[in-house]
Amino acid sequence: MSRGVRVLFVTLVLGVLSGCAAVTHHQNVDKGQVLERAQVEIAEEQLLDVWIGLFDPGKLPENENKARGLSMEIRKAEARYMPVQLRNIMEKTGYWGAVRVVPAETEGGELLVNGTILRSDGEHLELEIKAFDATGEQWFSKVYEYQLEAEDYNGRSAADPELFRPLYSAIANDLATYRAKLTAAELRNIRRVAEIRFAADMAPDAFAGYLQEDRKGHYSLLHLPAEDDPMYRRVLAIRERDFLLIDTLNGHFDNFYAELDEPYFEWRKARSAESAELRKLKREANTRKALGVAAILGAIAIEALGGNSTSRSTGTLRNMMVLGGAYVIKTGFDKSAQTGIYSDAIEELGESFSTEARPIVVNVDGETHELTGSAEVQYARWRDLLRQIHSSETGLPASATDLTGSRSATSDHGF
């Protein structure tokens, strides 16, 4: 195979592979990013409910210096904090129905937004966001990146306390842009599919046949239940409780957010300042070292190039340059030692933040576990009752449904 043919072949394979994989876009968010709001009130039947999953905390940087002062405890706290931040911003746009934070990968929402923290160190925030609707359609997958300067923290105002707001606004704007492309019929279909998916999950005997799922995980409606279908009314009554449960969970997340806000801000501010100082010191130290070496080299060059007379006449200068160079190198190394002190301070700050955040994180986990544990029992009971009612109403034998339930909110995702 000639080289040209091989290149063509590889290009084609790569092209096919990239076509198969979901494309993830990237955006460096500008500081001037403005949140877009609906200019007119959107009809109720066209409002999609949004569920924002608790973010994936991601991984810490492998580079030791970059990971300094960061910890998974902080990341876990951020993974609970940031979705609330996104929710608060999306609620202001007027494009959506209820916007709620839900445990990761919870199913059942009309629009589900998942996020992964790729980078968060007080100065940089990088999030990967994926959005899916109830039909299984992926709206987009995109990485958002935003960078602050240390001095930006000094300009924080009570009126607009979230310094990374432009990043969240960019996410909210993209979601609104995608939504705007959908027709009213498509929006209604998403809502119906979400409803029937819930019904099929709670009462598969009665409603599984209303849906079709293709190999790609896309759902379509085969038919709809009658409005006065008593079994459907029962399922909708349960769905209302599902919403109430999620509202209650959001109460926990709100409290967590409020408790964390101040220490988290201070940690980000301090870490950003320390990082900036660290970079400055490194630059200075490197400059001093470089100057010192240059001075010594200069002195040596004077001696090498000059004759005896020159050497005598420049002896003092040469000696000064050598000594000066040595001094500059020394102060350069002293500066390096200082950077170590600051790095330690960052680590200390990170640890103290972790210590401060840990009880809150554990508390949220404990409380949501307790609540959803109760809910899990209830969901299993309702599923069983619906199964019996369906059997009683139709005379059909009750199916051997797994009563542990498949409701993801309470069983699959461990909250």
Partner 1 sequence: MDRRFFRAGFSIACVVTVTAVGADPVASRDRLIESIRSTHATLVDAQQNLSTLQRQGALGAREAADYQAWIQQMRTGLDQDCQQLIRSTDAPPPDDLPCDGGILPGAGAADIDTSGERTLEERTAELDASLGRSLGEFDDLLLREQERVKASKPDAGDGGGSSSGGGGMASAAGDDGAEQTGAEGGQQTSSRDTDRGRPGRSGPSSAPPDTPDGSDDDVVARQLREAAEKETDPELKKKLWEEYRKYKQGIQ
Stretch that binds partner 1, among 29-37, 282-290, 292-300, 348-356 (CB under 8 A): 29-37
Q: Interface with partner 1 includes 255 (CB under 8 A)?
A: yes
Q: Interface with partner 1 includes 397 (CB under 8 A)?
A: yes
How far apart are CB 258 and partner 1 at their closest, in Å?
3
How far apart are CB 366 and partner 1 at their closest, in Å?
12
Q: Interface with partner 1 includes 291 (CB under 8 A)?
A: no
> Shortest CA distance to 198 belongs to which of 150, 232, 149?
232
Residue 47 vs 125, nearer CB to partner 1: 47
CA dist 253 and 268 (Å) reads 20
Torsional sign, CA 155, 156, 160, 162: positive
Q: Which two tokens stand for residue 176?
A: 């609104």
Residue 243 vs 327, nearer CB to partner 1: 243
CA dist 225 and 233 (Å) reads 10
Which listed residue (26, 156, 218, 330) binds partner 1 by CB under 8 A?
156
> Shortest CA distance to 363 belongs to which of 86, 89, 76, 124?
76
Counting Cβ atoms within 10 Å, is residue 20 exposed (0-12), middle (13-18) or buried (19+)?
exposed
CA dist 23 and 17 (Å) reads 11
CA dist 176 and 183 (Å) reads 13
Residue 178 vs 265, nearer CB to partner 1: 265
Q: Interface with partner 1 includes 334 (CB under 8 A)?
A: no
Stretch that binds partner 1, among 67-75, 244-252, 286-294, 333-341 (CB under 8 A): 244-252
Which listed residue (27, 35, 130, 147) binds partner 1 by CB under 8 A?
35
> Shortest CA distance to 127 belongs to which of 232, 56, 67?
56
Sequence-distant (≥ 6) Cβ neighbours of residue 101 within 8 angstroms: 51, 52, 53, 54, 83, 84, 87, 249, 250, 253
The site that binds partner 1 (CB under 8 A) totals a number of residues, namely 72
Q: How many residues does the chain have?
A: 415
Site for partner 1 in 210-229 (CB under 8 A): none
Q: Interface with partner 1 includes 101 (CB under 8 A)?
A: yes
Site for partner 1 in 356-375 (CB under 8 A): 371, 374-375
Site for partner 1 in 81-100 (CB under 8 A): 84-85, 87-89, 91-100
How far apart are CB 21 and partner 1 at their closest, in Å?
34
Q: In this structure, how many other beta carbons lie within 10 angstroms of the beta carbon of residue 10?
A: 10
Which listed residue (149, 213, 262, 334) binds partner 1 by CB under 8 A?
262
Q: What is the DSSP letter of 217?
A: S
How far apart are CB 187 and partner 1 at their closest, in Å?
12
Residue 6 vs 37, nearer CB to partner 1: 37
Q: Which two tokens stand for residue 98?
A: 């209820």
Which listed residue (135, 189, 250, 354) binds partner 1 by CB under 8 A?
250
How far apart are CB 169 and partner 1 at their closest, in Å?
8
Residue 89 vs 281, nearer CB to partner 1: 89
Sequence-distant (≥ 6) Cβ neighbours of residue 48 within 8 angstroms: 96, 97, 110, 111, 133, 179, 187, 190, 191
Which listed residue (67, 211, 236, 385) binds partner 1 by CB under 8 A?
385
Q: Interface with partner 1 includes 252 (CB under 8 A)?
A: yes
Q: Interface with partner 1 includes 41 (CB under 8 A)?
A: yes
Residue 92 vs 218, nearer CB to partner 1: 92
Count of alpha carbons within 13 Å of 331, Cβ hemisphere only?
12
Q: Interface with partner 1 includes 182 (CB under 8 A)?
A: no
Residues paired with 56 in a beta bridge: 116
Which listed residue (27, 71, 116, 248) binds partner 1 by CB under 8 A?
248
Which listed residue (55, 144, 210, 253) binds partner 1 by CB under 8 A?
253
Helices (H), 117-183: 165-180
Q: Are strands 219-221 and 211-213 parallel, antiparallel or unpaired?
A: antiparallel
How far apart are CB 352 and partner 1 at their closest, in Å?
19
> Shortest CA distance to 109 belongs to which of 24, 201, 43, 22?
201
Stretch that binds partner 1, among 14-22, 143-151, 255-263, 325-333 (CB under 8 A): 255-263
Which listed residue (8, 13, 16, 34) binds partner 1 by CB under 8 A?
34
CA dist 140 and 175 (Å) reads 9
